[in-house]
Amino acid sequence: MEEENRFSSKQPEIMLQDNWNKDLLSNIKTMFKKQFTISILNKTEHTLPKPEFMFKESPWQLDPLQKLKKKLNKVKSQLNNFNLGKWQQHTNRMNVAGDIVRTVKENIQAELVTQAWCKFYEIASTFSLVPLNNVCCDVNDKNFRSIHLCEAPGAFVTALNHWLKINASDVKWDWLAVTLNPYCEGNPYGHMVADDRFIRHTLKHWYFGDDNTGDIMDVRNLDALVKKFESLDRKERTLLITADGSIDCTDVPGEQESTVAQLHYCETVACMHLLQKGGNFLLKLFTLFEHQSVCLMYLLSCVFHEVSVTKPVTSKGGNSEMYVVCINFKGREYIAPYLPVLRDYYSNAFPANAMFRLQDIPGDFLQRIYCCNNYFQQRQCEVIWDNIRTFRTREDSSSKTPHIKRLISAKYIENCRLIKIDPANEIVGRELIERSSNQFVNKKCHVDSYNERCKRQDLGSQERLLQIWDNVKEIEWPAEKFFVLHLQALPETFEIQTGKSFNKIRSSRFCDSKILQMLIEIDNVMQDMRTTISFPSAEITKELAQPIDLSYEILNFQFVQNYDSHQTITEIYYRLEKLQPEQTLIFIGYSLLTQLNVDLLYFLGNFFNKIIAEVHDNEGYRLKLETYRRDEKALNYLREIMNASYDAHKKNMALWSIIPITILYECDQFPVMVLLNHLMIKLYAHHIINTI
């Protein structure tokens, strides 16, 4: 049965030997061996300086590393005038390992296969990343736990599950993941992965910290995570931690390492609070030119028995991404004296000083770091130059490239010993994930060149707004002017979620990410101008403030003023308390961008016969809640919700939602709400342009 499931790589290997020369065979094998050993037990023993000597020296630089950085940035600067969208299409075509993800999807049919899935699986198949020696030392208790930091959308988890089912099916494994909460509208798209197709089905395994944001760079969330693990079953030892975090550095390509340095520091310090003796750590880094990365690598080399750097074949050769594989942790007892000082610098701000004095880092270690940088930088530059040459000359890929891609994909399958697993052994299920809505996979909006984006920042406010409008005006206008929102019955119990208070909406489950980013850009321009423009306009809200017809009342909101969930809840509650039976309540400017606002609309369906959305050219849409039916039980629920909001408000927190997002996803009216948000953003942008 296993042989039937195996994707055959024998035939491509024969073709490789018979039809291609030995140089090509050698090159393909070399692609799978981009590795560099930094330290290894019994060969390079490093020791940490005393804690009191840490963070005492001013930031330092090493000239040899800075020369490598300048050389790399000089090559990367050649891309500044290239249209980013066209460049990415070109590099995807040129990437000889670019068919691996598709091959694994089609032939292995694994769960949530992405580039990250393939990278993790390759590393796990090349290094002793999964600590089976420690897990299986007790034949009667083969339990272990893994923690995955900055993990969204969850591909490392599904890849590890697949690996275990093939290589250690008798091991009992549990996992927990931490990531920026995709349901926190205060988390910006540029910092997080919005794809929740796997997350929504495995929420009990995801932990978003004390403030529910999932921000691993907040020490309070680290403390909450440590406390959570102290309460878990101690039989399941934490023996593997992965950290795949990054930040969008498209607008600062020359300073990627510095931009993400504090995140990588926090991931590493979190690991040292959670990992148990003998465990392993996988950390994504980029270049190692600056003191932050050099010191971090020295810290890892002192607390793990083996440290290596690798660039998987599935990581695009033209980027700086690489993974640090740390094997056999010396234990929390070893690092315990250093944890207090490491925690002191666990924040969103860079430490003023370097972690270690330069004199405390051995010269042989610095030489290894230089050689490692030089090794990976040379290969990256070779790929970039080759891509530039073919991009400028519009040279088509060699006719051999499709064949080479197939051979490399087959080599990947062979090296990783990949086979299908029984769908019953998947975590969620490939088919269920693929059926789940994928509209929240945030696409990068950068399509022009780096230089063009820089020039745009120098434009005046009105010019910037006009450029944004060029994109906004392409938003489709709804064909209908009238929507009846048939909201399904509420669940029997509510799930009140609270989290960190935020006053600006930076992401939304109810809007296309590109369109919401247009709204955010408009808001940024307005902030730069120190201007606030009401929408709907003051004239409209004043005109509607005192209705002549007593059969309805109007509740006015402002679409893009500072978001205040508590104010929204209290205004709705007190208006319902005063509303007379059979009256209609009309919402003007009510945003449907946040889960809480959508939840409240659902909840209000208990009080009214029906809810109608009417499209109006000058104000977006009106929500007409027709024929009020006073419901004391529902009012009591709303009072409890308001009290929960009061309690959260006292703690500088906010009420985020009252209905699980999974229920909202099943709503037939979900697409209508997305459409209404797009309409509102378009009309708001038009109003801004006309006013300014």
Binding site feature residues for S-adenosyl-L-methionine: 154, 173, 244
Return the DSSP state at 180: -
Report the C-alpha gap between 280 and 278 in whole angstroms.
7
Q: What is the CA radius of gyration of the chain?
A: 28
Say how far residue 361 (Cα) sits from the centre of its chain. Answer: 34
Examine residue 153 and say whether the peptide bond preceding it is cis (omega within 30 degrees of 0): yes
> How many other C-beta atoms lie within 10 A of the C-beta of residue 476?
9
> The sheet that has 172-178: what strands, in order across it?
35-40, 304-310, 322-329, 280-285, 238-243, 143-149, 172-178, 206-207
Report the C-alpha gap between 675 and 480 in whole angstroms.
11
Q: Helix (H, G, I), strand (E, B), or coil: what is residue 346? A: coil
Q: Which of 69, 76, 284, 411 is catalytic?
A: 284
618: tokens are 């000058």
Active-site residue, 34 included: no
Contact yes or no for 37/325 (Cβ under 8 A): no
> How many other C-beta atoms lie within 10 A of the C-beta of residue 88?
15
CA distances from 337 to 299, 324, 332, 562 (A): 13, 24, 9, 45
Positive/negative CA dihedral, 202, 179, 302, 319: positive
CA distances from 199 to 113, 155, 438, 585 (A): 14, 10, 12, 37
Contact yes or no for 181/187 (Cβ under 8 A): yes
Instruction: State how beta strands 280-285 and 322-329 pair.
Output: antiparallel
CA distances from 433 to 173, 193, 550 (A): 21, 16, 50
Helix 595-604 vs helix 565-578: crossing angle, to nearest 10:
10
Residues 6+ apart with CB under 8 A from 521: 464, 468
Amino acid at 584: T
Examine residue 536 and say whether the peptide bond preceding it is cis (omega within 30 degrees of 0): yes
CA distances from 375 to 34, 287, 381 (A): 9, 11, 10
Report the C-alpha gap between 568 and 638 in whole angstroms.
12
176: tokens are 């927990």
Report the C-alpha gap between 327 and 281 in whole angstroms.
7
Which conformational region is residue 601 in: left (phi greater than 0), alpha (psi within -120 to 50 degrees), or beta? alpha
Report the C-alpha gap between 171 and 135 in whole angstroms.
8
Which conformational region is residue 448 in: left (phi greater than 0), alpha (psi within -120 to 50 degrees), or beta? beta
Backbone angles phi, psi at 525, to 5 degrees: -65, -45
**Of 66, 64, 61, the residue nearest 354 (C-alpha):** 61
CA distances from 587 to 543, 544, 658 (A): 14, 11, 20
**Of 257, 458, 265, the residue nearest 376 (C-alpha):** 257
Residues annotated as binding site? Answer: 154, 173, 244
Residue with tokens 């034949």: 139
Report the C-alpha gap between 421 and 417 in whole angstroms.
12
Q: What is the largest CA-CA distance in the chain?
A: 88
> How many other C-beta atoms lie within 10 A of the C-beta of residue 431?
12
Contact yes or no for 593/577 (Cβ under 8 A): no
Active-site positions read: 284
